[in-house]
Amino acid sequence: MPRTYLTRTAPDVGEIEHRRWMFRHPLVIRIAHWVNALCLLVLLMSGLQIFNAHPALYWGNVSTFDTPLMAMSSTEDDPPKGVTTVYGNTFDTSGWLGSSTGPNGEPADRGFPAWATLPSDQDLTGGRSWHFFFAWAFVLNGLAYLLYGLVSGQLRFRMIPSLDQVRHFGASVWEHLTLRFPQGDEAKRYNVIQKLTYLVVLFVLLPVQVLAGLAMSPAMDAAFPFLLTLFDGRQSARTVHFVVAALLVAFVIVHVALVLLSGFWNNMRGMVTGWFVIERKVEPAASPETRGGAA
Amino acid sequence: MIRLPSRRALLLGATAAADTAMLGGCDRLGEADWFRRTLKTGEDANLFVQRLLLTERSLAPEYAEADISPWFKPNGTEDPPDEDYKALSKGKFAKYHLEVDGLVEVPFKLSLAELRNLPARTQITRHDCVEGWSAIGKWAGVPLADILTRARLKPQARYVVFHCADTMDQGNPLEGGGDGEDAEEAVPVDNANPAMTKQSGTAETKRNVGGQQASGETVAKGSDPVRYYESIDLVDAFHPQTILAYELNGKALPVSNGAPLRLRVERNLGYKQAKYVMRIELVESLAGIGEGKGGYWEDQGYAWYAGI
C-alpha cells in the first residue's frame, strides 16, 4: 500500500473524479532541485573550459603524454581538422572536438567548442573561478537537501523501493521501454527504476564526482592521501571526473526526456509550485467518451 | 501525444536560443567586477577550508624512483630571453647569487656552491599543472625554512616573494602609465594560462632587457618589462617539503626547468613553483609588488592560493 500522507485534496471538487491534486514537492526540495540544475549546468560548462586547457586524459599518477587514454587536437591543415583519439583510435571530429568555430567566427584550436564552455573564450582562470564557486554552491545545496530529506522522511519515501516494487521490477522496465507511465495511486510515488536511478546518482555518481574533484587538488592529496589510492592516482581521478560528468549528462538527458514525455507542464508545475496532478487510472476498456462524459 | 512534436521543436529552438543568450549573458557577467568578486569567494573558501584541513605536518605524497616521469615537461618560460640571465647561464651559474632581503634582520647573498654545501632535502614529488597534467620528479635542494631562519625574519614579515630572472611581458615605454584595464588588455590573450610557453625574445626584447639595470627602481608603472614573480605565506614557506631546488632527477637543474634554482612548494599547483629564482624578499603586504596580487599569473586573474 503506497503511503499517501503527502496527498492533499484540492478545493476544486468537480475535478476530483478524474484528477487529483497532489502536493508532491515541498519547498526545500523544489529550491534544491533548481539550484542543483543551475550548478550542474555551470559546473559542466566551466569544467569543459578547464578541460580545454589540456584536452587529454590519462590513467595513473602522471600524464603519459605519448599514450593518452583520450586526446583532442587539431591538424596543421587549412582549415584545421579536429582530431579526437580514444584508446589509439583516431576520429575526425572537426567542428566539434579539437577544432571548432570560435566566438569570432574563425576556426579555433580547442577541445570542446565555444558554445559548450564557460566562459565561451579560452579562459582557464575564468573557468576555474566559475567552477569553484558553483562547486561550493552545489555541495552546500546537496548537503541541505540530504539533511532535509533524511529528517523529513522524503529521502526514504522517494528513493527506497518498496518490496512490491522490487517484485515487479521486470514489469516496470517494460513500462519504461514502452513509455507507458503509471497512473492513479502508482503515480503518487516514484517507480522502481526512478528510485534506483536517483539512488545511484545521489549516492554513487555525485559523491564520486566530488571526491574525484578533490583528488585533483595537491593540497587535498596531502591532507587525505587515500583519495589517490581510491582513484589510482591524480590523472585517473581527472579521468573519472570527466567520465562521471558524461554519465551525469546522460542522466540529465534521460531525465529531461522523460519529463517531456510524461507530461511536461504537469511536471514543471510540480517542481515549481509543488502541485502535481494524478490522472485517474484508466481501465483499458474505457473509451475516451466515457472519460469525457463522466463529469 | 499528437501535440508533442511541436512542443518538442519549440523547446529545442528555445534551448538553442537560451544557450546563446545564456553564454553571452554569462560572459558579460564574468566581466562585471562585482560578479567576478562574487565568484572569487569560491576560491577564498578553498583557501580557508584547506588551511583548516592541512597541518604543517600534512606532507604531499612522495613517490618511488620507479615512478619518476621519463620526461619532466618544462613549462612557462623555457629559455629566459634576458641578457643578464644568458650571461649567468653561459658561465654555468658560477657568478649566480641568491639574494635574501626585505623584512629580515640579516640580509645575505649565497652563491650556488654555497647553497649546495648547505644541508639538503631530496624528495620525489608530483608536479600538478593548473592546466591538468602531472609529472613526477626527484628534487634536491635547500629547505627554505633554513634560509629564512638564517635571515631571521622581522616580526612584520608575512609573505615570501620570489623574484625571477625571466621576463614575461615586454614593457612599452611609449605607452607608459596605463591603468589596470589597459594593463590587462596588454597581456597576450592567446596565452591566457600559465601552462603555455611564453614567446618572447624579439629584437625589441633585447633592447629593453639590455637597458633594465635600473628596473629595481620603478620608473613608470606599466612601462617596465614584467618578470615572473611568485609569493607564498609563512605557512607554506616553513613547510618541510618547501625547498629551493638545484637538482632534478639527480642532475643539475636544466635551464628549461628553472636553472639554477627553483622553488618547490609541494601541495600547490605548478605556477607557484617559481623558476630562475634570483632574489627572495620578505614583505608585510603584496600590495606594492607587480600589480599587487602576489604573482605574475595572479596578476592575470589566477587565485593566489594554488592548493587546488
Asked whether residue A184 carries a pLDDT value surpassing 80, the answer given is yes
C-alpha cell at B189: 590573450
pTM of the model: 0.85
CA dihedral over A171, A173, A178, A182, signed as positive or negative: positive
The pLDDT tens digits of the residues spanning B29-83 come to: 888 999 999 999 999 999 999 999 999 889 999 999 999 999 999 999 999 999 9
The answer to whether B130 contacts A128, with C-beta atoms less than 8 Å apart, is yes
CA distance to partner chain A, nearest, from residue B229 (Å): 18
Place of cell 625574445: B201
Domain extent listing, chain B:
7-57, 59-299
Tell me which of 1.20.990.10, 3.30.450.40, 3.40.190.10, 3.90.420.10 is the CATH number of domain B59-299: 3.90.420.10
The answer to whether A120 contacts B23, with C-beta atoms less than 8 Å apart, is yes
The answer to whether A133 contacts B38, with C-beta atoms less than 8 Å apart, is yes
C-alpha cell at A41: 549546468
**Mean per-residue pLDDT of chain B:** 84
Residue pair A271/A239 in contact by the 8 Å Cβ criterion = no
Question: Which DSSP symbol is given to A204?
Answer: I
Give the whole-angstrom CA distance, residue A135 versus residue A50. Answer: 14
pLDDT band at B260 (very low <50, low <70, confident <90, very high): very high
Sequence-ordered list of residues with C-beta below 8 angstroms from that of B255, at least 6 positions apart, any chain:
B78, B79, B80, B89
Give the whole-angstrom CA distance, residue A33 versus residue A161. Answer: 21
Residue pair B178/B194 in contact by the 8 Å Cβ criterion = no
Question: Which DSSP symbol is given to A122?
Answer: S
pLDDT at A187: 86
Sequence-ordered list of residues with C-beta below 8 angstroms from that of A190, at least 6 positions apart, any chain:
A158, A159, A198
Sequence-ordered list of residues with C-beta below 8 angstroms from that of A14, at least 6 positions apart, any chain:
A295
Interface test with A, best of B8, B22, B27, B187 (most A CBs within 10 A): B27
C-alpha cell at B61: 605524497
3 state SS of A244: helix
Question: What secondary structure does DSSP assign to B151-209, as a single string?
Answer: H-B-TT--EEEEEEEEEEE---GGG-S--HHHHHHHS-GGG-STTSPP----HHHHHHH
- Cα angle A129, B186, B280; round to 5: 70
Residue of A nearest to B302 (CA): A125
How far is residue A120 CA from its own chain's centroid?
22
Which residues on chain A are in Cβ contact (under 8 Å) with B42?
Answer: 129, 131-136
Share of chain A above pLDDT 70, in %: 89
Q: How far is CA A161 from CA A2, A191, A203, B209, in A?
A: 11, 8, 15, 72
Which residues on chain B are in Cβ contact (under 8 Å) with A54?
Answer: 129, 131-133, 195
CA distance to partner chain A, nearest, from residue B5 (Å): 10
pLDDT at B82: 95
pLDDT at B172: 55
C-alpha cell at A11: 478545493
Domain extent listing, chain A:
25-63+113-282, 64-111
Least-confidence region, from A242-256, B153-167, B213-227, B243-257: B213-227
> Percentages helix, strand, coil for chain A, rounded to the nearest 5?
55, 10, 30
Asked whether residue A54 carries a pLDDT value surpassing 50, the answer given is yes
pLDDT at B194: 46
**Mean per-residue pLDDT of chain A:** 89
Query: Counting Cβ atoms within 10 Å, is residue A47 exposed (0-12), middle (13-18) or buried (19+)?
Result: buried
The pLDDT tens digits of the residues spanning A87-123 come to: 999 999 999 999 998 878 889 999 999 999 999 999 9
B160 touches A: beta carbon within 8 Å: no
How far is residue B307 CA from its own chain's centroid?
13
Residue of A nearest to B308 (CA): A217
- Average pLDDT, integer, range B261-282: 98
Looking at the partner chain, which of A54, A129, A225 has a beta carbon nearest the beta carbon of B61?
A225
pLDDT band at B18 (very low <50, low <70, confident <90, very high): confident
Place of cell 540530504: A146
CA distance to partner chain A, nearest, from residue B93 (Å): 31
Query: Counting Cβ atoms within 10 Å, is residue A164 exposed (0-12), middle (13-18) or buried (19+)?
Result: exposed
CA distance to partner chain B, nearest, from residue A121 (Å): 9
Looking at the partner chain, which of A61, A115, A132 has a beta carbon nearest the beta carbon of B43?
A132
CATH annotation of A25-63+113-282: 1.20.950.20
B188 touches A: beta carbon within 8 Å: no
HEC states along A29-52?
HHHHHHHHHHHHHHHHHHHHHHHH
Cis peptide before B5, with omega less than 30 degrees from 0?
no
B304 touches A: beta carbon within 8 Å: no
- Average pLDDT, integer, range A238-267: 96
The pLDDT tens digits of the residues spanning B181-218 come to: 333 333 333 334 444 433 333 333 333 333 333 333 33
Interface test with A, best of B39, B54, B299 (most A CBs within 10 A): B39
Which residues on chain A are in Cβ contact (under 8 Å) with B20?
Answer: 115
pLDDT band at A282 (very low <50, low <70, confident <90, very high): low
The answer to whether B61 contacts A221, with C-beta atoms less than 8 Å apart, is yes
Give the closest residue to A58 by CA, choosing from B192, B248, B197, B129. Answer: B129
